[in-house]
Chain A
């Protein structure tokens, strides 16, 4: 479950990626939203990044063989391996946000009738998803109020269609419910009915091959209700927007101009185990690079210059351990 930010709809970026990933891999999708026309929203899903761009991701050991295609100065090669490590981390983070399920694990690299794609997170937001891939999706608009009984029936029907006998390749279905407690949705039901709906939905998802991502504006709920919603989540995230001009933040973070918001990981799933997962990093920055790609990175602070005064560059430690200017031999320090 994702707690939305009041100021900016960055949760929609995450939903777009979640839905596009499912459709590209032929996973059935059910999308419910308070938008009057959810179908139109599906038209804004990103397409897979083109093959040429995804292959240009550098592979460490093959650098030397790639020298004919890409001439990289030797001093920048170490940044390439860092970039690869960042991409791998992003892949793992995307898998974490999209994988809260209890069903048997399904192999993601099975080829589909439409086209075979390896499981990937590389999407290009400037291009819309192919229309043919949208066939596997079902949309429901909650603009006129969420009739929870009907919505629950639709989710149950969706999940029931995913069941396959043992031995066959299992299909994983994706449910995306956007802004579930938005004013348009709650006009016909009470807080407690919504909670009961969530409980039933959790039961459906847990006992079928499906994953549900639900976004909700937590600030519109009463505090006690917001906490009850948080208790339901297997994985709980929240999105915060970043201010356009914040000099202090810009000084502390690298690439501040590309950052659109922050993703906070509050809770990770611990299904079939009692050991809680402790995330390596609680806060990730959400960057949109060249209006094309969404990248999630662990929060990195630029090194703070601890030494003020003449010396400018270099840390205090290097100054203390460095040689005095006129040392007769290199062993004097």
Chain B
């Protein structure tokens, strides 16, 4: 059902597409990354009839490989196998001591910023990935952009540049597409701090827009994950709102505007249904 809402025909993502997933503290969006990862790694045919694989570069900053591996295994996708045969390259940046977190030490000897270094690494990986076919597509998945912003010391423009550069990497005939997760509730649109309003009252003193707003502006599709307004429930874990900003994934005539679906997460599957449709 999510594929219909995204107008995703089961093949790889269109080249150069930017899919944005926005989540919040009460409803985490990581499940969408594993959902899409599974679809991308198991799809192998493109719409034009050619047989090609989708390769994925996963930049993981929020969770280690074991977390995604176990979840994907329960859903029938073996990430270890994909990693061994070169279809998936997993960058585990969660452990301390990786080049991005050395910023904590306040070293002034860095020539390039952490995100520049990361871009060099990702670029090198994409170029080295084996391609059987010129029409193979590459997707770069990032979990998550808010941690990239922390690595960049709060400079959201560096994160935006990084993502645009990633989108522009060419492999064969195609550009890479990017799927990125960001925390939408760090934005001023949500008003005071989400769960705990605390005593600090910020009356709109800050005029710069947040990373989530800026990403929303450049994304082709935005999927927002929100909790139910009525609170937590065991049968429905939240809702997703899909907004198409461009015609990259679906043409304007065929898509249905902004769509809202509710979802329930299970060990081996995620089920999406229209609001009120859960049994």
Contacts and interface: CB of A to CB of B under 8 A. Distances in A.
30 contacts: A192-B150, A193-B103, A193-B104, A197-B104, A199-B61, A199-B151, A200-B96, A200-B101, A200-B104, A204-B96, A218-B193, A218-B198, A219-B196, A219-B198, A223-B191, A223-B198, A224-B210, A227-B186, A227-B194, A227-B195, A228-B150, A230-B193, A238-B195, A267-B26, A272-B67, A273-B267, A274-B31, A274-B34, A278-B233, A282-B232
Interface string A264-290: 001100111111101100100000000
Contacts of A152: 96, 104
A7 B215 CA distance: 39
Contacts of A156: 96
A331 B183 CA distance: 64
Interface string B178-217: 0000010111101111111111101000000010000000
Contacts of A231: 25, 146, 183, 186
B30 interface: yes
Interface size range of chain B in the complex: 35 or more
Nearest to A266: B195
B134 interface: no
Contact of B94 (A190, A202, A227, A274): A202
Contact of A226 (B63, B196, B210, B267): B196
Contacts of A230: 25, 193-196
B200 A220 contact: yes
A195 interface: yes
Q: How would you classify the secondary structure of chain B's contact residues: helix, strand, loop or mixed? A: loop
A226 B199 contact: no
A127 to B, nearest CB: 34
A196 B196 contact: no
A227 B183 contact: yes
Given A192-B154, A274-B265, A203 B195 contact: no
A224 B188 contact: yes
Contact of B192 (A195, A207, A223, A273): A223
Interface in A206-221: 206-207, 218-221
**Which of A200, A238, A266, A267 has the largest number of chain B CB atoms within 10 A?**
A200
B266 A275 contact: yes
A223 B200 contact: yes
A204 B185 CA distance: 26
Contacts of B255: none
Interface string A79-102: 000000000000000000000001
Interface in B32-82: 34, 61, 63-64, 66-67, 70-71
Nearest to A223: B193
Contacts of B146: 228, 231
Interface of B: 25-26, 28, 30-31, 34, 61, 63-64, 66-67, 70-71, 94-96, 101, 103-106, 146-147, 150-151, 153-154, 183, 185-188, 190-200, 202, 210, 232-234, 237, 265-267, 270
B234 to A, nearest CB: 5
Contacts of B31: 274
Nearest 9 A/B pairs, CB to CB? A219-B198, A223-B193, A219-B199, A200-B96, A226-B193, A274-B31, A192-B154, A203-B94, A272-B70
A259 interface: no
A231 B94 CA distance: 15
A112 to B, nearest CB: 29
Interface size range of chain A in the complex: 35 or more
A221 B198 contact: yes
A226 B151 CA distance: 17
B28 A222 contact: no
A206 B198 contact: no
A207 B95 contact: yes
B101 A227 contact: no
Interface in A162-218: 190-193, 195-197, 199-204, 206-207, 218
Interface string A17-37: 000000000000000000000
Interface in A98-157: 102, 148-149, 152, 156
A162 B154 CA distance: 33
A276 B265 contact: yes
A3 interface: yes
B21 to A, nearest CB: 14
